[in-house]
Amino acid sequence: MGSGMFIWPKRPPLPSSFAQGARHRDEGETMIRLEQTFMNFLLYHQERHNRSYHFLILMDALISAAKHIEHYYLTGALKGNLGLAGNVNVQGEDVLRMDQIAQEITVHYLRTSGRVIHAISEESEKIIQINAENGRYFVYFDPLDGSSNVPHGLPVGFLFGVAKRSLEGPEDGHLRAGKDYIAAGMFVIPTGTFTLALKDAGTWRFHIDETMDFVRPTRMILPEDAKEWELSFNAASRYTYAQKVQDWIERNQQKYVFRYLGSLAGDFHRILSNGGMFMYPAIVNHPNPKKNRPQGKLRLMYEAAVVSFMCREAGGAAVDETGTPILDVQPKEPHQRTALYVGSKPLVDDIARVLSG
Ligand code: FBP
């Protein structure tokens, strides 16, 4: 089949209740509640848009990886997997056992999918070469983001972005900006929630069921009602931010509730549901100048661009410290860092004016 177009066999039309992502109900009383599965949702999506089956194989690999990571994380405290692995990574940070486990699992499933050209992971300094000949996608991932939560077994994220090889002409394999992703998603582990954004087709949330299937597609649209909005940032660091960011916080903090988990996937999960803004600004006023992070802390390709892509598909926006849309930032190197302001458009537009002024 190669990279040619796959012709879908004729299938019966999707039941309208499933098509809308609603729960299925036969006429009359039902004894049990059955939900549309993620794979069923995606099959119909690919079919409707006349897309190939390759993306299904890739998504199946990512789902398998997430389920295995979830299992190891849930049982981690008992099996001694939540502590340090005893080595230090290229960023000079202590490596956690779970980081290594999650990395091994993800690379295994990406390899066996046969669909990935190369992958970029937070856990590997080098680009992971997988299938240069016949692969079709580039995958950028952080298999276990939110390291300070790991020793406590509290929520962490498996974040990923996907770009597609150039199907016309030669592939140069360059690093893709977020606007060129075709999909981005996050599993919030171990909560059993999965959120996936598909280019120009919305952001969808799924929940894990008793058979370990992700089910019940629910379209996520950032709420317009500012009454529910939340602000999320590390309050302990606020005096290390640029003065204009501190002033913005001062002006706005009374208007919204404040929530911070210290794990991007968990914090962004709340923003997608309730609206508001998550921010991880540049650190430029730290009392110990060695601890300044003028480029920001979060990684562009597998953290910031991933949530920014999901946010855009849910009607929101995201910018960096200069007020530039995150999705427009062309990465110069795989592990590039960035500041991040992501969430409801009116709030992000407002801070963008301050940042670019
Ligand atoms: P790690 O890659 O070390 O996990 O850092 C990423 C992250 O944990 C994000 O998930 C989170 O939003 C942020 O760092 C929290 O940082 P801080 O502890 O400085 O508030």
Residue range 321-341: average pLDDT? 97
Average pLDDT, the chain: 91
Q: Which residue's CA is the closest to the ligand 1 atom numbered 18? A: 262
Residue to substitute in 96, 124, 147 for testing ligand 1 pocket (most ligand atoms within 8 angstroms of CB) = 147
- Token pair belonging to 42: 């995606």
Q: What is the pLDDT of residues 200-257, one digit of tens each?
A: 999 999 999 999 999 999 999 999 999 999 999 999 999 999 999 999 999 999 999 9
Give the atom of ligand 1 at the shortest distance from the alpha carbon of 280: 12
Q: What is the pLDDT of residues 80-90, one digit of tens each?
A: 888 887 777 76
Q: What is the pLDDT of residues 135-169, one digit of tens each?
A: 999 999 999 999 899 999 999 999 999 999 988 87
User: What span, in angstroms and rounded, lies between the C-alpha atoms of 21 and 218?
Assistant: 6
User: In the prediction, which pLDDT does 22 show?
Assistant: 44
Residue to substitute in 263, 267, 291, 306 for testing ligand 1 pocket (most ligand atoms within 8 angstroms of CB) = 263
- Token pair belonging to 9: 């066999």
pTM confidence score: 0.91
User: In the prediction, which pLDDT does 168 show?
Assistant: 81
**C-alpha of residue 289 to centroid of ligand 1, in Å:** 20
- Token pair belonging to 303: 């953290």
146 Cβ below 6 A of ligand 1: yes
Q: Which residue's CA is the closest to the ligand 1 atom numbered 12? A: 264
99 Cβ below 6 A of ligand 1: no
**Whether residue 190 has a cis bond before it, omega within 30° of 0:** yes
Q: What is the pLDDT of residues 300-329, one digit of tens each?
A: 999 999 999 999 999 999 999 999 999 999
Give the atom of ligand 1 at the shortest distance from the alpha carbon of 144: 4
User: In the prediction, which pLDDT does 3 show?
Assistant: 44
The one-letter amino acid at 174: H
**C-alpha of residue 133 to centroid of ligand 1, in Å:** 36
